[in-house]
Structure 1
Amino acid sequence: MQHRLFNLIALLLFTGLSTRGSAQDINFGFATQTEVANGKLEGNYSTRTGVQSYLGIPFAAPPVGELRWQPPQPAEDWEGVRMAKEFGPRPVQRYVYSDMVFRSPSVSEDCLYLNVWTPAKSEQTGLPVLVYFYGGGFSAGSGDEGRYDGERLAQEGVVVVTPNYRLNVFGFLSHPELTAASDYNGSGNYGLMDQAAAIQWVKDNIAAFGGDPDKITIAGESAGSMSVSAQMVSPLARDLLAGAVGESGSVVNPQRPVTALSDGEAWGEKFFEAAGFASLAEARAASTREVYEAFNDNQLGGPPVVIDGRFLTEDPMITFENRAQAQVPLLVGWTSTERPWGRFPETADAFRKMVGEQFPDNSQEVLQYYDADTPTRSAIELASDTWIVLSTWKWADLQRRFSDQPVYRYRFDEIRPPLKGAENPMQMPGASHATDIEYFLGNLDVSDQYQWEEKDRKAAKTMVTYLANFVKTGDPNGQDLPEWPALGEGETPEVMILDADSKAEPFKAEPRYRYLTKMYTESRR
């Protein structure tokens, strides 16, 4: 009996909590070390999965004090061995989205940390790398969210990195004083510069984790997807990439082009006035709480992404049309029902009235593409298209037309199940925004608040394999997978439908996106 008790105590002492952050997921592991440019790191080696995790690694200096609203600066060296077993603080943000489950200890302006999961064996090199940017409308999110956990994808032979980046007013403020003080006569987009700095850090350091610095694919969902498209055109990052993955969103938007710097500066002036800041020096001297409360209490909306002259030097659509974007394979798509929420018309007449009010000069043409006889479904499709699908479609179209690299386009159709214990759960009309994340990254068990079924696991197994294949080769296809054709030309080129029974089929909605592009382009002339 005493012998058994001794063994049990030893086992408990040797056991650590999983990096997934669940007290029920006990992870057998031991310490492991590596060395990056700034010093030595100690992470955890999981004997359950063979994956090593290094969490909370600083990739830039804390953007505080005089570095608030500045491009990211290099991280400082440290002496000795730095523990990398806990997530760093997440960016300052208001609690906005109920599906964001964080594992970091707190929020802080000192937030520029990243996490690495690697399957590399001793002395192994040359593994492909995926850098994943979180979504959240540039107002919320963090690389420590459970649904972005990199352990599952790492088991497919990929090094996974999830960086933080600054958000909301802390990450995207433009202002005339900031512009005048910069050495490039611009301001704003600091969160996007953080991402570019993270990519550069990966380029410089990922070999220490067994990764190939010449095989970096970037990915993201929603604002993270917009970020990927932006990094593809930015001179700070486009030459560092080997591939790109976008899930719902881009900055190449015929409806809402990227904002001019002057408009972003005007937003910044309104913010300073509302906050009572008389100067940039006064704003930088303010506490985190003062800036946070001024931003949230005055309800000015979020500061826009702008053509700042450093991260973005021109409208991204022009960069694509000049073939100056990253010439890399692209995997991109959206969910079947991006925007199922809101009040939608229930009759044909009500739908026609809505379209007439929304598109007074083009209502008859719009109605040719959205059937009034199915008013609710058509209204949801129109809302989804004008919110996020059109820009994602346009991104794929531009890369197909102005690149020699393949584009793999998808629509995600698997409807995520309801929360466990939910009474009378809402019946979704399709797969809504952000529901593809757990499937692509293989994290159904991490997001264990949902009533996952066998069909969900089947879809996830297919999708995580597609993603791993793409990161490795620039092509999602592989043995025992449904064939995913590259995007072609024609009236209805094929799109890959991702669900429990994934298959490619002609995309019959293609003509409406060509029409919407034409309509919005002509309206701006």
Structure 2
Amino acid sequence: MKTPFSLLCALLFFTTAFSQSITNQLKISNGTLEGTFNQTIRIRSFKGIPYALPPIGDLRWKEPQPPANWDGVRKADHFSHMPMQKRVFADMIFRADTMSEDCLYLNVWTPAKSPKEKLPVLVYFYGGGFVGGDGSESRYDGESMAQKGIVTITINYRLGIFGFFSHPELTAESAHHASGNYGLLDQNAALKWVQANIEAFGGDPKRVTIAGESAGSISVCAQVVSPLSKDLIAGAIGESGAMIKPTLPAIPLAEGEKNGVSFAEKNGTKTLAELRAIPAAQLLDAASKPGVWRLSATVDGYFLPKSPVEIFEAGEQAHVPLLVGWNSAEIPYQAFTGGDMPTTENYAKKLKQQFPDNADEVLKLYPGTTQDEVIKSATALASDRFIVYSTWKWADLQSKTGEKPVYRYVFSSPRPPEVKPTDNANANKMPKALVGASHASEIEFAMGNLESNKVYAWTPDNYKVSALMENYFANFIKTGNPNGKGLPKWEPNTNGSKVKFMNIDVNTKLEAESERGRYLFLDKLYLK
């Protein structure tokens, strides 16, 4: 029996109308948004949503203010301005095409068909050393996570001099007698926006997990310990980084103010009004000159009442499940050996230079009896001092005082060769770096976004690892536990338990910690 033409037309009409009803409008606290609908994967997206007033003019270096209401329908179909920044990191692929001090916007991807679904929520903070990054980067795209039933959000926050400038005049004008943590306060404001608005997108404000990589992971650590944010989250994911020495630790407010005064003097500006009057591009140029200004968060007595380590030790952080880890070769061995060949002699000499009082102890922890061992140990030592130790310390402290499970991982799956490898005439003069996973290489795997990165020749094994890692993350976001059907069992760490971690690679498996001695040694150096 043939379907009548009139019935086909009716079906087409209702299908189109249904799609349009999903695509069209959604009302939040400030007004009505109109997003877009990907009919193939049934995901709605709303981009460029303001979560605070533009931090410009007199609002430069002030705590973010609630966004203004609007009349009519606001189009939410494109990414808004990226934060002010220099082009520092070549691996950042932005989809926003404008840059501005007016940057406090967020993006939402949702699979929900109605506000009643109460889906889990992921809020992702980008990395970039607090000097680069943007919520439009394709590696953070939320479509893949949304397809797993998670309302996914990326946010923009102020960077560099705009996000972390401290000054006595700023402290004096603040109602909280604080200055310097504007980028972190932006993140807090975004979390407050989520609490107020996420139900409209089908999300559950009681099931919000925050995640991030590098500076994004440091941000997660900071939000977990801040009294302003710790009650706004149900879980946390940290990928390589914590706000613990030596990885961008927060400094005393007085020290941050001193840095700010020094910058103002070098820049020839005498008052806060003069500093606020400097055009954004000019201010970015001035602050980007080497040695002119030092970026750091501050222990300001407001966002951070104490250092993160002190807060963890006192058990005053958010008591939520934590999934945290790092990559197997965060930075290459040359970060420690410099331009010297990685011979046993050169390695021993470098150890004595760097650790004059305990070189022998370091050599036992990071042995170097052959060139291969030197490369392996120098990679480990460089990575530990860069970002691994701080991440380990976070995991260790949280397992002792956080009262919730801590799931640790090491990501060991290296990227494949580039599609069009660069021709480097010096590539064969030094031994190749240790094969492993470099800093930031896990992001596309964890967020299910390998396909969007056209730089690398991804293999079936890469997609296998990505599927596994994304499923672990998705399960954790939904339940606080990464385990699920078809995945190797991941045991959590709690105080007093034998530490285990998931080694994520083609052959993913749970392993016992064997490097604790290295981290306890670094403890003595960094937490004197």
Provide the TM-score with structure 1 as the length reference: 0.91
SS in 2 for 1:445: helix
Deviates more, 1:211-220 or 1:268-277: 268-277
Taking a change above 3 Å as real, the CA distance of residues 123 and 206 of structure 1, as seen in their structure-2 partners, is closer
Map of 1:494 onto structure 2: 500
Residue 130, structure 1, aligned to residue 136, structure 2: no
The equivalent position to 1:46 in structure 2, one of 38, 44, 63, is: 38
Pairwise mapping of residues 16-27 of structure 1 onto structure 2 (< 5 A)?
none
Residue 437, structure 1, aligned to residue 443, structure 2: yes
What is the Cα deviation at residue 519 of structure 1? 3.7
Deviates more, 1:78-87 or 1:494-503: 494-503
What is the Cα deviation at residue 352 of structure 1? 1.5
d(CA) in 2 for partners of 1:338 and 1:491?
A: 27
Map of 1:402 onto structure 2: 401
Taking a change above 3 Å as real, the CA distance of residues 89 and 273 of structure 1, as seen in their structure-2 partners, is same
What's the CA shift string for 1:312-343, capped at 9, x where partnerless?
Answer: 11111111111110000000000000111542
Map of 2:381 onto structure 1: 382
Taking a change above 3 Å as real, the CA distance of residues 448 and 165 of structure 1, as seen in their structure-2 partners, is same
d(CA) in 2 for partners of 1:302 and 1:33?
A: 44
d(CA) in 2 for partners of 1:490 and 1:345?
A: 42
d(CA) in 2 for partners of 1:489 and 1:266?
A: 40
Residue 337, structure 1, aligned to residue 329, structure 2: yes
Residue 287, structure 1, aligned to residue 279, structure 2: yes
What is the Cα deviation at residue 371 of structure 1? 0.4
Q: Does the 8 Å contact 2:410/2:502 carry over to 1? A: yes
Q: Does the 8 Å contact 2:246/2:386 carry over to 1? A: no
Map of 1:509 onto structure 2: 515
d(CA) in 1 for partners of 2:280 and 2:399?
A: 44
The equivalent position to 1:349 in structure 2, one of 329, 334, 345, is: 345
Code of the residue aligned with 1:364 in structure 2: it is D
Map of 1:368 onto structure 2: 364
Residue 155, structure 1, aligned to residue 142, structure 2: no
Q: Does the 8 Å contact 1:60/1:72 carry over to 2? A: yes
Q: Does the 8 Å contact 1:137/1:222 carry over to 2? A: yes
Size of the alignment, in residue pairs?
499
SS in 2 for 1:129: strand
d(CA) in 2 for partners of 1:464 and 1:298?
A: 39
d(CA) in 1 for partners of 2:72 and 2:116?
A: 24
Unaligned runs of 5+ in 1: 1-10, 16-26
Residue 242, structure 1, aligned to residue 234, structure 2: yes
The equivalent position to 1:179 in structure 2, one of 162, 171, 183, is: 171
Pairwise mapping of residues 65-464 of structure 1 onto structure 2 (< 5 A)?
65-253=57-245, 257-297=249-289, 299-340=291-332, 341-342=334-335, 343=338, 345-373=341-369, 374-423=373-422, 428-429=433-434, 430-464=436-470
What's the CA shift string for 1:149-175, capped at 9, x where partnerless?
Answer: 000011001000001000000110001
What is the Cα deviation at residue 299 of structure 1? 4.2
- Aligned alpha-carbon RMSD (Å): 2.1
Code of the residue aligned with 2:348 in structure 1: it is R
Q: Does the 8 Å contact 2:502/2:511 carry over to 1? A: yes
Taking a change above 3 Å as real, the CA distance of residues 124 and 418 of structure 1, as seen in their structure-2 partners, is farther
Taking a change above 3 Å as real, the CA distance of residues 424 and 360 of structure 1, as seen in their structure-2 partners, is same
SS in 1 for 2:379: helix
Deviates more, 1:144-153 or 1:354-363: 354-363
Map of 2:6 onto structure 1: none
d(CA) in 2 for partners of 1:345 and 1:309?
A: 47
Q: Does the 8 Å contact 1:30/1:46 carry over to 2? A: no
d(CA) in 2 for partners of 1:161 and 1:389?
A: 26
What's the CA shift string for 1:58-103, capped at 9, x where partnerless?
Answer: 0000000000000100000000110000001000000011100101
d(CA) in 2 for partners of 1:278 and 1:518?
A: 41
d(CA) in 2 for partners of 1:490 and 1:309?
A: 32
Taking a change above 3 Å as real, the CA distance of residues 428 and 450 of structure 1, as seen in their structure-2 partners, is farther
d(CA) in 2 for partners of 1:174 and 1:111?
A: 20
Q: Does the 8 Å contact 1:29/1:47 carry over to 2? A: no
Taking a change above 3 Å as real, the CA distance of residues 401 and 207 of structure 1, as seen in their structure-2 partners, is same
Map of 2:9 onto structure 1: none
What is the Cα deviation at residue 494 of structure 1? 1.5
d(CA) in 2 for partners of 1:159 and 1:254?
A: 34
SS in 1 for 2:488: coil
What is the Cα deviation at residue 418 of structure 1? 2.5
Deviates more, 1:115-124 or 1:140-149: 115-124
d(CA) in 2 for partners of 1:417 and 1:428?
A: 14
Q: Does the 8 Å contact 2:151/2:203 carry over to 1? A: yes
d(CA) in 2 for partners of 1:89 and 1:492?
A: 47
Q: Does the 8 Å contact 1:130/1:159 carry over to 2? A: yes
Map of 1:6 onto structure 2: none
d(CA) in 1 for partners of 2:125 and 2:411?
A: 19
Taking a change above 3 Å as real, the CA distance of residues 29 and 204 of structure 1, as seen in their structure-2 partners, is closer
Q: Does the 8 Å contact 1:492/1:509 carry over to 2? A: no
Deviates more, 1:406-415 or 1:266-275: 266-275
d(CA) in 1 for partners of 2:122 and 2:54?
A: 24
Pairwise mapping of residues 20-39 of structure 1 onto structure 2 (< 5 A)?
31-39=23-31
d(CA) in 2 for partners of 1:401 and 1:244?
A: 16
Taking a change above 3 Å as real, the CA distance of residues 489 and 512 of structure 1, as seen in their structure-2 partners, is farther
d(CA) in 2 for partners of 1:476 and 1:443?
A: 19
What is the Cα deviation at residue 449 of structure 1? 2.1
Code of the residue aligned with 1:291 in structure 2: it is L
Fraction of identical pairs, as percent = 49
d(CA) in 2 for partners of 1:144 and 1:272?
A: 32
d(CA) in 2 for partners of 1:437 and 1:111?
A: 23
Map of 1:8 onto structure 2: none
What is the Cα deviation at residue 236 of structure 1? 1.2
What is the Cα deviation at residue 423 of structure 1? 4.7
d(CA) in 2 for partners of 1:298 and 1:477?
A: 46
Deviates more, 1:448-457 or 1:145-154: 448-457
Q: Does the 8 Å contact 2:208/2:234 carry over to 1? A: yes
What is the Cα deviation at residue 446 of structure 1? 1.1
Map of 1:64 onto structure 2: 56
What is the Cα deviation at residue 350 of structure 1? 1.4
